[in-house]
Amino acid sequence: MIRAVLLCFFLVAGVFGTQTQQQNPSATDQKAKQADSSGQKPSATPGQSAPGQQGAQPQQGARSSEAVRQMIRGFLAIGAPPDTEAEKRGQATFVQTCGFCHGTNATGGAQGPNLVRSTLVLHDQGSGKEIGPVIHDGRLTKGMPAFANFTDAQIHDIAQFLLGRTQAAANRMEYSIQNIVTGDPKTGEAYFQVHCATCHSATGDLAHIAAKYEPVTLEGRFLYPGNMNRFGMGPPPDSRAEKHVTVTVPPSTTLPSGVKYSGVLAHIDDFSVGLRDSSGVYRSWTYDDAKGIQVQIQDPLEQHLKLLHEYSDADMHNILAYLETLK
Ligand code: HEC
Ligand code: HEC
């Protein structure tokens, strides 16, 4: 039961990249433990994740001479050009799905690294073999969500697009990607009234939202509104986005009646949970010490996460087009 709650949470945390650890006194310790357990990270699709994880992890941050060789090879030995049709399809998917983190040109954004300079992408050479596992599994603890449903064909298209980008960079040809605002604002407004207006208002909290963000950032904000920006730039966490938690510690010999605490979730990982109560007191528990502990999390952004699975491509374009009218 607890496990299930935690697994659900981690999926959420993966998408929203909660930055709650900072408030935990023993954050460094926890992070070290988390790193040790990275092999058992929960994933959206256990069936698909295992091989991918293995493939993706060793590349991460590799600065070995092999990685450097790959990079040089990638930049100098410009291989066969990508299949233009696949590249076009890949671009469309990339701009909409990945662009607000990695930049529409894949050269990096506030929330994701430059992929044109990535050794992993260079090594992929348009095949999808290296990129595929990262797309399927994400890097949940680092702010990259999993896209478990991507097909091999979609991954191949994205790989071809990224191949084109690395080649363009190597050729020093810059090309910029067209405006991503292609939807219909009226249809977007109708969607907004039905799905968003319960929590938001175009003249209230979202007034002038389009003046605040570039289109690509704005798209990121409505798809992943949590403060998942691990690079420390971008908007501060909004108190409306804070997760709340109730921790129930079962009766024990020292605590015959058990206890229940509620507050703002301050920290959670595979080993412990911490909260800050209404008077600002921080409390934390390790699951080992508090056997049978129950953790219930209420995430105000849960609805956003649900919507993420409901939008069609057209919905996303239309919503963005509508939000763009809120200058
Ligand atoms: C919510 C932001 C976000 C989205 C959306 C996102 N990524 Fe990422 N991505 C990241 C972050 C952050 C990292 C760096 C993770 C790390 O440090 O290991 C990353 C890493 C990667 C890497 C590995 C780069 C390397 O050198 O190790 C690839 C490849 C990648 N992303 C491709 C994609 C693709 C393709 C998509 C769209 C299907 C996508 N990403 C969507 C945030 C995102
Ligand atoms: C159940 C309530 C709820 C629903 C439904 C909902 N949101 Fe949100 N939304 C939130 C909360 C909570 C936040 C985080 C607080 C914040 O950043 O303003 C948020 C944040 C946002 C942000 C970021 C605002 C900013 O200033 O960065 C945008 C944009 C957004 N939502 C758009 C939408 C759109 C578009 C829809 C419908 C498709 C939608 N939301 C549906 C609750 C909701």
For the domain made up of 45-170, the CATH class stated in words is mainly alpha
To the nearest whole percent, how much of the chain has pLDDT over 70? 67
Lowest mean pLDDT among 56-70, 139-153, 171-185, 275-289: 56-70
Instruction: Round to whole Å and give the CA distance between 244 and 242.
Output: 6
Lowest mean pLDDT among 25-29, 225-229, 288-292: 25-29
Pocket test for ligand 2, best of 199, 233, 302 (most atoms within 8 A of CB): 199
144 lines ligand 1 (CB under 6 A): yes
Lowest mean pLDDT among 1-15, 85-99, 209-223, 300-314: 1-15
Atom of ligand 2 nearest to the CA of 311: 38
Instruction: Round to whole Å and give the CA distance between 190 and 152.
Output: 34
Q: Please name the residues in contact with 208: beta carbons below 8 A apart, sequence gap of 6 or more.
A: 326, 327
Instruction: Round to whole Å and give the CA distance between 111 and 231.
Output: 7
Q: Compute CA distances 7 → 64, 132, 165, whole Å.
A: 34, 23, 36
Report whether 111 contacts 100 (CB < 8 A). Answer: yes
97 lines ligand 1 (CB under 6 A): yes
Distance from the Cα of residue 60 to its chain's centroid: 17
The predicted structure's pLDDT at residue 186: 97
Q: What is the pTM of this model?
A: 0.51
The predicted structure's pLDDT at residue 142: 86
The predicted structure's pLDDT at residue 12: 30
Instruction: Round to whole Å and give the CA distance between 77 and 63.
Output: 20
pLDDT category of residue 192 using cuts at 50, 70 and 90? very high
For the chain, give the number of residues: 327
Ligand 2 centroid to Cα of residue 32, in Å, is: 33
Sign for the pseudo-dihedral over CA of 40, 41, 43, 48:
negative
Helices (H), the chain: 2-16, 27-36, 46-56, 65-76, 84-97, 99-102, 119-124, 131-137, 152-170, 185-195, 209-212, 215-223, 302-310, 313-323
Tell which phi-psi region holds residue 143, choosing left (phi > 0), alpha (psi between -120 and 50) or beta: left
Instruction: Round to whole Å and give the CA distance between 243 and 266.
Output: 8
Ligand nearest 61 Cα, by number?
A: 1
Q: Nearest 10 degrees: CA dihedral of 162, 164, 166, 169? A: -140
Instruction: Round to whole Å and give the CA distance between 193 and 254.
Output: 53
The predicted structure's pLDDT at residue 171: 53
